[in-house]
Amino acid sequence: QAYALDLERDLTWLLVNASDPAWAVLATEAAIHSKSEPLLRTALDSRYADAAALALTAIGSSLTAPLPDYILGKAAETGSPVRKPLAALLRQKPHQGHLATLLTLAQDTWSRGSRTYGEDDDFPIAQSAVAAIAELGPLSRDVQKALYKIAFETSDPDLAAELCSVQYGYAFKDGKD
């Protein structure tokens, strides 16, 4: 007896039920190739960060700013593989509507590896978010205060320097002290 293949149904099943991240990534790659929005949205919610990150990049690259809440909400994901491409995407598609998400990502403390004694922390997701904030133009006092607080509290000296540069670069442009 021959069995009919239903690619969308089968990929959806695999995206939801994969017990191995490699299978979830493979199913996400197939979803990207198929250009099926329902499959990509299912992949975006994968329990495997690498699969979700692929879907995020595929979906996000086709959208214009401002990005929808279901994309911006990925800043709360626990997996750095999701937050890294989100920060990059927000940098590529600057919009004031992304500011709250960027401020969340500017506090991200994921690092590429553990540091040894005497080495500075390095938070690339936060650095990318701050670079995106810098592209937005003049910032409100509340945002400047938030940036100052993050700069004061971070253990990444490069991030602190960039935050101060962004904050003080716009501090007096609105004609107020």
**Which residues, in sequence order, are CB contacts of 105 under 8 Å at separation 6+?**
75, 83, 86, 87, 90, 125, 126, 128, 129
pLDDT for residue 169: 67
The list of the chain residues with pLDDT below 50 reads: 171-177
Q: What is the pTM of this model?
A: 0.86
Q: What is the pLDDT of residue 171?
A: 46
pLDDT in tens, 156-165: 999 999 998 8
pLDDT at 119: 75
pLDDT of residue 175: 41
Q: How many CA atoms lie within 13 A of 21 on its CB side?
A: 9
What does the pLDDT read at residue 9? 92
- Nearest alpha-carbon partner for 9 in 38, 33, 44: 38
